[in-house]
């Protein structure tokens, strides 16, 4: 095996490490320059709503997402925790990222949580949290602001170019989402910038067969449809996207982005739940630690 190691001149002036880093890895410059030099970046704010819940994988998921957001100017992160009270652990984590954010909370009722032997997709997730995010927007933003709203799961994977596409949205924009619906991708099939049909497999009767990560909405629509909230019924599986889109737009009005919906810039990845030894077994072994709050 041959390993390539870039030669580093130890005689370099170590007082300018950032400049030297860009010299060694010039590819770093491109997303930063393209994102931050785009005039729309500082005109059109993105409000991103992210539901999140306490679990062992929460900190690494949010850390990965935050490090993508460093590349995105003029983005405000609305993080809504699935807890009866905001946790200081999550508040400290969010503050450590030094990103513009608001930390909200609301607990999902027990009757809407999946049972021990039930798959998570059997219950609508993040519904109460999204509704609190919408409520915050209507209370704390101006209905005339030229801004966009995007719903982002904490364990999805986002290319920095996705946010450039979001800033092109005039009303409601759509694009492909990878690794979703038992397919490599779902996507709108577009002709001349408008949706002609959809490529999808699961839940065939959906009016808007897209994932929550596959669209963004102009803020004025969130204000205009001021009474809209996501249906929290346990029977609304796979219908959350169709509910909001059917309320705020029509298929004919959807804007096809990401090169006429041919480029994938977001993937519905899902962090696998880690097997962790129970507190009881650790106690029996003479060990004690907090499974979530230790670090």
| Cβ atoms 137, 149 nearer than 8 A | yes
How large is the average pLDDT for residues 148-175? 97
Q: Is the pLDDT of residue 2 over 60?
A: no
User: In the prediction, which pLDDT does 293 show?
Assistant: 60
Kindly report the number of other CB atoms within 10 A of residue 55's CB atom: 16
Q: What distance in Å separates the CA atoms of residue 135 and residue 155, rounded to the nearest whole number? A: 23
Which of the four pLDDT bands, split at 50, 70 and 90, describes residue 3? very low
**The two structure tokens encoding residue 100:** 């513009």
Dihedral, CA atoms, 255, 260, 263, 265, nearest 10 degrees?
-10
pLDDT at 169: 98
Percent of the chain with pLDDT over 90: 65
**Of residues 192 and 274, more confidently modeled:** 192
Confidence of residue 116 (pLDDT cuts 50, 70, 90): low
Q: Which residues contact 178 (CB under 8 A, 6 or more apart)?
A: 184, 185, 264, 266, 267, 268
Higher pLDDT, 169 or 10: 169
Of 96, 49, 165, nearest in space to 176 by CA: 165
Q: How far is CA 32 from CA 71, 94, 150, 156, 252, in A?
A: 6, 22, 21, 21, 35
Structural domain boundaries of the chain?
Answer: 44-175+208-250+270-284
DSSP code per residue over 199-251: E--SSTT-SS---GGGEEEEHHHHHHTTT------TT-TT-HHHHHHHHH--G
Q: What is the pLDDT of residue 168?
A: 97
222 contacts 205 by C-beta, under 8 angstroms:
no
Q: For 124-146, what is each residue's pLDDT tens digit?
A: 689 999 999 999 999 999 999 99
Tokens of 175: 């694009």
Rg of the Cα atoms in the chain? 21
| C-alpha span between 19 and 9 (Å, rounded) | 14
> Mean pLDDT score of the chain, rounded to an integer?
88
Query: 185-206 pLDDT, tens per residue?
Result: 999 999 988 999 999 999 888 9
pLDDT at 257 over 90: yes
**Sheet of 75-81, strands arranged across:** 101-105, 75-81, 45-52, 147-151, 215-218, 172-174, 255-256
Both tokens assigned to 200: 């999808």
What's the half-sphere exposure (Cβ side, CA atoms, 13 Å) at 7? 2
Among the options 30, 241, 255, 280, which is catalytic?
241
Instruction: Consult the annotation and say whether 155 binds a ligand.
Output: yes
Residue that wins the pLDDT comparison between 294 and 36: 36
pLDDT at 135: 98
The pTM of the full predicted model, rounded to 2 decimals, is 0.88
What confidence score (pLDDT) does residue 6 get? Answer: 45
Q: Catalytic site residue 241?
A: yes
Q: Say whether pLDDT at 102 is over 80.
A: yes
CATH code for the structural domain at 44-175+208-250+270-284 = 3.90.550.10
């Amino acid at each position: 095996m041959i390993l390539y190691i870039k030669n580093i001149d130890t005689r370099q002036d170590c007082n300018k490490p950032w400049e030297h880093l860009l010299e060694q890895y010039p590819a770093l410059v491109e997303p930063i320059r393209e994102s931050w030099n785009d005039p729309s970046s500082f005109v059109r704010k993105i409000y991103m709503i992210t539901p999140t819940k306490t679990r062992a994988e929460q900190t690494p998921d949010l850390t990965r997402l935050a490090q993508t957001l460093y590349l995105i100017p003029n983005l405000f992160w609305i993080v809504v925790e699935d807890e009866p009270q905001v946790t200081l652990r999550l508040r400290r984590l969010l503050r450590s990222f030094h990103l513009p954010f608001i930390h909200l909370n609301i607990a999902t009722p027990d009757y809407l949580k999946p049972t021990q032997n039930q798959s998570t997709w059997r219950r609508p997730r993040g519904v109460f949290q999204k509704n609190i995010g919408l409520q915050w927007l209507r209370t704390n933003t101006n209905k005339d602001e030229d801004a966009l709203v995007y719903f982002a799961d904490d364990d999805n994977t986002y290319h920095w170019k996705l946010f450039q596409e979001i800033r092109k949205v005039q009303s409601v924009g759509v694009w492909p989402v990878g690794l979703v619906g038992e397919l490599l991708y779902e996507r709108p099939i577009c002709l001349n910038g408008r949706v002609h049909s959809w490529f999808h497999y699961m839940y065939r009767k959906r009016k808007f067969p897209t994932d929550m990560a596959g669209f963004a909405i102009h803020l004025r629509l969130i204000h205009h449809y001021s009474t809209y909230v996501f249906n929290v019924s346990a029977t609304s599986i796979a219908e959350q996207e169709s509910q909001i889109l059917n309320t705020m737009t029509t298929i004919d009005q959807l804007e096809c982005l990401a090169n006429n919906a041919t480029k994938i810039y977001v993937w519905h990845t899902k962090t696998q739940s880690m097997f962790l030894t129970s507190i009881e077994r650790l106690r029996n072994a003479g060990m004690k630690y907090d499974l979530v709050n230790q670090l």
